[in-house]
């Protein structure tokens, strides 16, 4: 901790003596003030409050990670295991049937100052870490310091505008903001896991470790084998197990995350019953390989769950930090060489739709010419924007489905020539004689069948394309340091996106290793529109700002959009039950399902 000067100490005392004007304490927060659940609610509507506890859920996680070497999820170094957030509580937690509402966990109430420049949380006196020590305001304040000073840049970036945490008493803490935005109270409430100050005084927060950390959440790590599996056991002494925000949740005695080197091995292990549940991300496998005896006999269930979240942006991200990709005509040409229609028909069994927008499957997606409200935001930035921003937003053209649409390839060739890349001896070269080379970085062989035809089209254009397959550790390292030409990724914005937009598209994040600004987009105009979205005071204002931002982003062509489906394809062995209602904005599997002993016994007998 940095020592304060006498003047600083006096100023701090003055702040304590004259706190900012506060609104009424509330049991919950939301971006625009709408809360579904009143004070005193007993449980969320999407849970079974009487769900039995017990059993184990073993699964493949939803992350792309296929190994781990650390139990520190909150720093940049290392490959963190999945499930680690279950070790830690936050001040408040999401209700997954509302767009953005959060309700008290460690914090019983929250007071947002009338000027929006601070939020004060009153902590529950019964909150405890797993070793029985109380959770205090000092722990909360120190958690902010750890994350800002030593945390993963992707997390620290969200906390930049939280200038400090003031300890007002043993169980009262105030977060002070650099500016008033609707998002910052929610970020303070949900994005700061509470760490034990005593534990991290003795243990270095910045180091990777396979020593299970001290937490305060519903689970603890009890068993693991590095790179193979990690088991979390439900804590019988969890202090918050009966709170309304947890009632009917965290029903499994054990959560076990399994790790395999590739998806084929995963699938074979699932068929053998080596683990319980897997979300299927490979459309070909989903369409063709689940006609197997366990499925036909009803032992292994296959199901499609609706997904009402924005589908986000999956695609090939082009690293504009590299000079060869500086010209948008080059980037657009690269995108034209990808034949989605052929890929969807021949490899995906037409299970997907083409993604057009960074806010796909939401009201924030730009469509048609800009509205009057959008133009009000865009016109002052006109000198910084491409002319096409003021037309219909860019939509990837539909190919003829042949795999080599000559019309689109001719357009791509023309764009490359206009950008100064001529064809000589079959190679696309610039004025210096340098060949345009593109390397696709990946750790998964699954994408080889998709990238292969794409590279073939690039070579028709004279581009020297190839795929670089590396091990997961090297991939993570190169991605975090932006050491790639093109890589595949997906990010999803929230129903009410805010500060994370700065991580994805902000100029500052383009320079921070480990950020999610993979392409390195850096533009004052984009920063201004992100700021409008972050500071929107109503959902209509947010939708308008997001649509304007979407137009500008799509005009930059730094991303070759992939595909999406507004659903989850899951396969699971029939030994679980669940509430009648699924949470709108979550799968809800880990938190709301439970182990059904009768089903498990019936399944075991049938399989024997």
The closest alpha carbon to 189, from 206, 165, 214, belongs to 165
Q: Which two tokens stand for residue 277?
A: 């549940």
Q: Judge whether 365 lies within some domain.
A: yes
Mean pLDDT (the chain, rounded)? 93
Predicted confidence (pLDDT) at residue 4 exceeds the cutoff of 70? no
Give domain status of residue 541, yes or no.
yes
Candidate from 29-33, 310-314, 321-325, 379-383 with smallest mean pLDDT: 310-314
**β-pair type (486-491, 437-442):** parallel
Q: Label residue 283 by pLDDT band (50, 70, 90).
A: confident
- Is the pLDDT reported for residue 408 higher than 90? yes
What pLDDT, on the 0 to 100 scale, is given for residue 18?
A: 37
Instruction: Let me know if residue 210 belongs to a domain.
Output: no
In angstroms, the CA 37 to CA 229 distance is 38
How many CB atoms lie under 10 A from the CB of residue 398?
12
Least confident of 64-73, 432-441, 528-537, 572-581: 64-73
- Whether 173 and 120 have beta carbons less than 8 Å apart is answered as yes
Mean pLDDT of 235-259: 97
Give the mean pLDDT of 281-286: 87
| 160: containing domain | 19-34+68-202
| pLDDT score, position 447 | 85
- Are residues 197 and 233 both part of a single domain? no
Helix, strand, or coil (residue 123):
strand
**How many C-beta atoms surround the C-beta of residue 207 within 10 A?**
13
Structural domain count of the chain: 3
Strands 277-279 and 254-258: unpaired
Backbone angles phi, psi at 205, to 5 degrees: -65, -30
pLDDT digits (tens, 9 = 90+) for 495-519: 899 888 999 999 999 999 989 999 9
Q: Which residue has the higher pLDDT, 66 or 116?
A: 116
Q: Please give the average per-residue pLDDT across 377-383, as a whole number.
A: 98
Do 232 and 364 lie in a common domain?
Answer: no
Is the domain of 391 the same as that of 532?
yes
Residues 447 and 596 in one domain: no
Residue 533 phi/psi, 5° resolution? -65, -45
Hey, how many other C-beta atoms are within 10 angstroms of the C-beta on 354? 16
Span 189-193, average pLDDT: 97
Of 247, 178, 51, nearest in space to 534 by CA? 178
Confidence of residue 14 (pLDDT cuts 50, 70, 90): very low
**Cβ count within 10 A of residue 325:** 21
Percent of the chain at pLDDT > 70 equals 96
* 12 pLDDT more than 50: no
- Decide if 210 contacts 226 (C-beta within 8 A): yes
- Same structural domain for residues 304 and 156? no
Tokens 């304040």, residue? 141
pLDDT(324) > 50:
yes
- Asked which of 138, 173, 202 is the last residue of a domain, the reply is 202
Q: How far apart, in whole angstroms, are the C-alpha atoms of residue 418 and residue 242?
A: 65
Residues 318 and 294 in one domain: no
Contact 531, 519 (CB under 8 A): no
Q: In what order do the strands lie in the sheet containing 486-491?
A: 464-469, 437-442, 486-491, 313-318, 559-561
135-155 per-position pLDDT tens digit: 999 999 999 999 999 999 888
Task: Specify whether 384 is located in the same domain as 346.
Answer: yes
Instruction: Say if 3 falls within a structural domain.
Output: no
What gap in Å lies between CA 137 and CA 141, rounded to an integer? 6
The CATH number linked to 246 is: 3.40.190.10
CB distance 447 to 419 below 8 Å: no
**Can you give the pLDDT at residue 309?**
87
Which pLDDT does position 24 carry in this prediction?
83
Average pLDDT (473-481) is 91
Question: What gap in Å lies between CA 3 and CA 9, rounded to an integer?
Answer: 9
Task: Read off the pLDDT band of 62 (50, 70, 90).
Answer: low
**pTM for this structure?**
0.83
Residue 475, beta-bridge partner list: none
Question: CA angle at residue 177 from 174 to 183, to 5 degrees?
Answer: 100
Q: Which two tokens stand for residue 561?
A: 């959009």
Q: What is the CATH number of the domain that holds 396?
A: 3.10.105.10
Q: Which residue has the higher pLDDT, 78 or 140?
A: 140
202-218 mean pLDDT: 97
Q: End-to-end distance of the chain based on CA atoms, in angstroms?
A: 61
Looking at residue 7, what is its pLDDT?
33
Specify if 290 maps to a domain. Answer: yes
Mean pLDDT calculated for residue range 113-138: 97
Q: Are 258 and 60 contacting, i.e. CB atoms less than 8 angstroms apart?
A: yes
Question: Which residue, 177, 202, 227, sits at the end of a domain?
Answer: 202
Model confidence at 23: pLDDT above 70:
no
Residue that terminates a domain, selected from 141, 171, 202:
202
- 3-state SS, 537-585, equals CCHHHHHHHHHHHHHHHHHHCCEEECEECCEEEEEEECCEECCCCCCCC
Residue 534's pLDDT is 92
State whether 85 and 191 are in the same domain.
yes
Nearest to 157 by CA among 553, 567, 500: 500
Mark whether 280 and 414 lie in a shared domain: no
119 lies in a domain?
yes
pLDDT at 1 over 90: no
| Closest alpha carbon to 317 in 296, 338, 344, 295 | 338
Residues in Cβ contact with 529 at an 8 Å cutoff, skipping those fewer than 6 apart: 377, 381, 545, 548, 549, 552
Q: What is the DSSP string of 53-104?
A: P--EEEE--SSS-----BS-TTSSSS-BPTTGGGG---SEEE-TTSSS-EEE
* Assigned domain for 13 exists: no
Single out the residue of 254, 284, 250, 252 nearest to residue 267, CA to CA. 284
Report, as an integer, the average pLDDT of 296-319.
Answer: 94
Task: Calculate ∠ Cα 348-300-309, nearest 5°.
Answer: 50
Domain co-membership, 168 together with 261:
no
- Contact of 304 with 279, CB cutoff 8 Å: no
Three-state SS letters, 406-453: HHHHHHHHHHHHHCCCEEECCEEECCCCCECEEEEEECCHHHHHHHHH
Same domain, 368 and 493: yes
Q: Considering the domain boundaries, does residue 43 fall inside one?
A: no
Which residue would you say has higher pLDDT here, 37 or 264? 37
Q: Which residues contact 57 (CB under 8 A, 6 or more apart)?
A: 252, 254, 255, 256, 276, 277, 576, 589, 590, 593, 595
**Is 301 in the same domain as 317?**
no
DSSP 291-339: -SHHHHTTSEEEEEEE--S---EEEEEE-TTSGGG-SHHHHHHHHHT--
């Amino acid at each position: 901790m940095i020592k304060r000067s006498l003047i600083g100490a006096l100023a701090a005392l003055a702040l304590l003596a004259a706190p900012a004007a506060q609104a009424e304490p509330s049991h919950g927060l939301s971006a625009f003030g709408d809360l579904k659940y009143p004070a005193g609610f007993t449980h969320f509507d999407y849970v079974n409050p009487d769900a039995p506890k017990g059993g184990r859920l073993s699964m493949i996680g939803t992350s792309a990670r296929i190994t781990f070497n650390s139990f520190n999820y909150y720093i940049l170094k290392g490959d963190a295991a999945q499930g680690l957030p279950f070790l830690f509580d936050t001040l408040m937690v999401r209700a997954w049937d509302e767009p953005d509402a959060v309700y008290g966990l460690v914090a019983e109430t929250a007071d947002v100052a009338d000027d929006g420049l601070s939020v004060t949380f009153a902590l529950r006196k019964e909150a405890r870490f797993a070793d029985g020590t109380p959770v205090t305001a000092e722990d909360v304040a120190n958690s902010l310091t750890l994350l800002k000073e030593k945390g993963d840049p992707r997390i620290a970036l969200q906390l930049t505008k939280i200038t400090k945490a003031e300890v007002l008493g043993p169980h009262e803490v105030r977060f002070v903001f650099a500016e008033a935005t609707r998002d910052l109270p929610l970020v303070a409430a949900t994005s700061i896991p509470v760490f034990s100050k005593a534990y991290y005084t003795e243990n270095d927060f910045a180091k990777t470790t396979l020593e299970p950390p001290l937490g305060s959440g519903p689970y603890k790590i009890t068993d693991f084998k590095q790179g193979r599996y990690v088991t979390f056991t439900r804590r019988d002494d969890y202090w918050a197990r009966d709170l309304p925000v947890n009632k009917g949740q965290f029903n499994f005695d054990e959560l076990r995350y399994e790790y395999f080197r590739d998806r084929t091995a995963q699938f074979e292990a699932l068929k053998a019953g080596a683990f319980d549940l897997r979300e299927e991300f490979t459309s070909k496998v989903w369409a063709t390989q689940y006609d197997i005896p366990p499925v036909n006999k009803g032992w292994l269930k296959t199901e499609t769950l609706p997904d009402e979240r924005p589908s986000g942006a999956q695609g090939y991200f082009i690293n504009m930090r590299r000079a060869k990709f500086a010209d948008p005509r080059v980037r657009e040409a690269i995108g034209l060489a990808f034949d989605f229609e052929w890929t969807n028909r021949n490899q995906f069994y037409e299970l997907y739709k083409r993604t057009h927008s960074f806010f796909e499957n939401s009201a924030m997606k730009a469509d048609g010419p800009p509205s009057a409200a959008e133009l009000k935001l865009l016109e002052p930035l006109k000198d910084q924007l491409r002319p096409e921003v003021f037309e219909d937003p860019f939509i990837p053209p539909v190919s003829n489905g042949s795999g080599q649409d000559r019309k689109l390839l001719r357009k791509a060739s023309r764009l490359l020539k206009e950008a100064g890349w001529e064809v000589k001896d079959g190679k696309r070269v610039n004025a210096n004689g340098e060949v345009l080379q593109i390397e696709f970085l990946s750790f998964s062989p699954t994408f080889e069948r998709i990238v292969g035809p794409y590279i073939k089209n690039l070579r028709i254009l004279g581009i020297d394309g190839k795929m670089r397959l590396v091990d997961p550790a090297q991939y993570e390292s190169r991605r975090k340091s932006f050491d790639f030409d093109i890589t595949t990724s997906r990010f999803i914005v929230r129903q009410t996106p805010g500060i994370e937009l700065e991580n994805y598209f902000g100029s500052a994040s383009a320079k921070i290793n480990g950020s999610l600004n993979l392409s390195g987009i850096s533009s004052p105009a984009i920063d201004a529109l992100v700021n409008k979205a972050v500071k929107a005071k109503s959902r209509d204002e947010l939708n308008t700002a997001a649509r304007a931002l979407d137009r500008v982003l799509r005009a930059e062509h730094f991303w070759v959009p992939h595909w999406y489906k507004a659903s989850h394809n899951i396969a699971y062995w029939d030994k679980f039950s669940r509430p009648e209602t699924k949470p709108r904005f979550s799968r809800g599997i880990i938190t709301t399902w439970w182990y059904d002993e009768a089903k498990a016994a019936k399944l075991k007998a049938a399989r024997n």
